Amino acid sequence: MALAAKLQLRQSQSLVMTPQLMQSIRLLQFTHVELEHFIDEEIERNPLLERAEPQDDAASDQVQKIDAEPQAAAEGDWFENEAGWSAEAISEKLDTSLENLFPDDPGTSERLGPDLTAQWKSASGNGGGSSSEGLDAGDMAASAITLRDHVGEQIALAFVDPAARLIAGELADGLDETGYVRADLEEVATRLGTDTASVAEVLAVCQTFEPTGLFARDLAESLSLQLAARDRLDPAMKALVANLELLARRDFQTLKRICGVDEEDLLDMLAEIRALDPRPGMAFSGGASDAIVADVEVRAANDGSWTVELNAETLPRVLVDHIYFAQVSPHAKNQAEKDFLAECLQNANWLTRSLDQRAKTILKVASEIVRQQDAFLVHGVRQLKPLNLRTVADAIGMHESTVSRVTANKYMLTPRGVFELRYFFTASIAASGGGDAHSSEAVRDRIKQLIDEEKPVDVLSDDAIVDMLKESGVDIARRTVAKYREGMNIPSSVQRRREKRALASAGR
Q: State the pLDDT at residue 129.
A: 40
Torsions phi, psi of 49, nearest 5? Answer: -110, 140
Identify the weakest region by mean pLDDT among 50-59, 151-160, 186-195, 374-383. Answer: 50-59
> How do residues 291-317 score in pLDDT, each as one tens digit?
788 999 999 988 888 999 999 888 888
Q: State the pLDDT at residue 380.
A: 86
> How do residues 115-174 score in pLDDT, each as one tens digit?
444 444 444 444 344 333 444 444 444 456 788 888 888 888 888 888 888 888 888 888
Please report which confidence band the pLDDT of residue 183 belongs to, taking 50, 70 and 90 as the band edges: confident
- Best-predicted range by mean pLDDT (5-19, 264-278, 430-444): 264-278
Residue 109 clears pLDDT 80, i.e. is over it: no
Q: What is the mean pLDDT of the chain?
A: 77
What average pLDDT does the segment 167-195 reach? 85
What is the length of the chain?
508
Residue 368 clears pLDDT 90, i.e. is over it: yes
Please report which confidence band the pLDDT of residue 435 belongs to, taking 50, 70 and 90 as the band edges: low
Percent of the chain with pLDDT over 70: 76
CB proximity list for 500: less than 8 A, separation 6 or greater: 456, 459
Kind and range of the H or E run holding 320: strand 318-320
Identify the weakest region by mean pLDDT among 118-122, 261-265, 359-363, 377-381. Answer: 118-122
Please report which confidence band the pLDDT of residue 95 belongs to, taking 50, 70 and 90 as the band edges: very low
Percent of the chain with pLDDT over 90: 7
Residue 91 clears pLDDT 70, i.e. is over it: no
Q: State the pLDDT at residue 506.
A: 60
Residue span(s) of the chain under CATH 1.10.10.60 come to 436-505
What average pLDDT does the segment 58-73 reach? 34
Residue 187 or residue 115, greater confidence: 187
Determine the Cα–Cα distance for residues 43 and 355; give it in Å rounded to an integer: 14
Q: State the pLDDT at residue 133.
A: 42
> How do residues 454-487 score in pLDDT, each as one tens digit?
887 788 898 989 888 888 888 888 888 888 888 8
What average pLDDT does the segment 63-80 reach? 34
- The model carries a pTM of 0.53
SS3 269: helix
CATH topology of domain 436-505: Arc Repressor Mutant, subunit A (1.10.10)
Q: State the pLDDT at residue 505.
A: 66
Residue 72 clears pLDDT 50, i.e. is over it: no
Q: State the pLDDT at residue 363.
A: 92
Q: Which long-range contacts (CB under 8 A, 24 or more apart) does 152-157 make?
A: 154/209, 154/210, 155/206
216 near 179, Cβ under 8 Å? yes
Please report which confidence band the pLDDT of residue 76 belongs to, taking 50, 70 and 90 as the band edges: very low
Q: State the pLDDT at residue 508.
A: 53
Q: What is the DSSP string of 380-421?
A: -GGGPPP--HHHHHHHHT--HHHHHHHHTT-EEEETTEEEEG
Please report which confidence band the pLDDT of residue 54 belongs to, taking 50, 70 and 90 as the band edges: low
Q: State the pLDDT at residue 366.
A: 93
CB proximity list for 213: less than 8 A, separation 6 or greater: 179, 222, 223, 225, 226, 276, 277, 280
CB proximity list for 335: less than 8 A, separation 6 or greater: none
